[in-house]
Amino acid sequence: MFPTDRPRRLRATPGLRRLVAETDVRPRHLVLPVFVAEGLDAPKPITSMPGVVQHTRDSLRKAAAEAAAAGVGGIMLFGVPARRDAVGSGATDPEGILNVALRDVRSEVGDALPVMADTCLDEFTDHGHCGVLDDHGGVDNDATLPIYGEMAVAQAAAGAHVVAPSGMMDGQVGVIRRALDEAGHRDTAILAYSAKYASAFYGPFREAVDSQLQGDRRTYQQDPGNAREAAREVALDLDEGADMVMVKPAMSYLDVLRRVADSADVPVAAYQVSGEYAMISTAVERGWLDRERTILESLTAIRRAGADVVLTYWAAEATAWLDR
């Protein structure tokens, strides 16, 4: 006989579909990651991320003002220094590129747009690792922690509302929380990259920050096959005082994201990384995927899997397609 249960009834018109939509993406959910490079005369395109640039200090100010006007949820700054050394001195120097750019952006947007800073040494070290090295060339967890603390304090002093430790050192959130509090930055929030995988999808980011890395980050970032371990990382970070937690990358880790979203009692972010951006961009360029539909579907899927906040290089652009 005929089916009596007809889910199609609720899909019949745009109005009905809108009425029953379970997931929405709004500009406020999106955070725009941006790169600012020291010593550039003009913005420099990143070949493997079409449409994304290394900003000058001036072009970054403009981009931040535009993002604020568009109503995005936040902006996340990454710095690309002109000089690097073994301990990443540019990260803690108040005159380092990331810290001066934070001051620029904060003076441009005030409190209208949450300003976030990547708290990690990989852009600043001459070996490209997220921490300092021990005598055997390994990444020294405990020697790195005080530098992260100092870096976070410099970022807070420069105006960051949120610091975002992404180096996957054990204990980093606790050390940063203590350092911020001792320096009087009690209101600076921590967005912890809690479940960050050793992913091939970060490939284009290496070009974006002129990364010096040889080898990989598998001694500190997570194995892509491990999901239970993500729950452990999140629990530790919450215990140490994380205000928000993140899963990264996003699209290949939606199950992990769901798991984290179901258990964490803080806002959960997901990072749609450079390789995800590059894949879709390239297919769109070739005419194989529809730009707007594909980007919005990817963002909707990340939200559906449980992300309150999505970091995406399309943040500013996508706002034009979204209801406020």
Binding site for ligand PBG (CB under 6 A): 118, 120, 122, 130, 166, 202, 205, 217, 273-274
**Least Å distance between CB 122 and ligand PBG?**
5
Residue closer to ligand PBG (CB basis): 118 or 237: 118
User: By CB neighbour count within 10 A (0-12 exposed, 13-18 middle, 19+ buried), where does 172 fall?
Assistant: buried
As a whole number of angstroms, the distance between CA 293 and CA 309 comes to: 20
Task: Give yes or no: 196 in active site.
Answer: yes
Apex 139 CA angle, 133 and 144, nearest 5: 80
Query: Six-digit token pair at 208?
Result: 């974006």
Q: How far is the CB of 130 from ligand PBG (least distance, A)?
A: 6
Question: Which residue, 110 or 204, is less far from ligand PBG as judged by CB?
Answer: 204
User: Which residues lie closer than 8 Å to 122 by C-beta, 6 or more apart?
Assistant: 128, 129, 130, 167, 209, 211, 213
> Is 44 a residue of the active site?
no
CB of 231 to ligand PBG, least distance (A): 20
Question: Between residues 113 and 116, which has the closer beta carbon with respect to ligand PBG?
Answer: 116
Residue 120 Cβ, how far from ligand PBG at the closest point, in Å?
A: 3
Can you tell me the distance from the alpha carbon of 246 to that of 209, in angstroms, rounded to the nearest whole number?
21
CB 63 within 8 A of CB 34: yes
Contacts of 311 (CB under 8 A, 6+ apart): 30, 31, 32, 33, 76, 246, 269, 270, 271, 272
Annotated active-site residue in 196, 217, 259, 303:
196
- Residues assigned a catalytic role: 196, 248
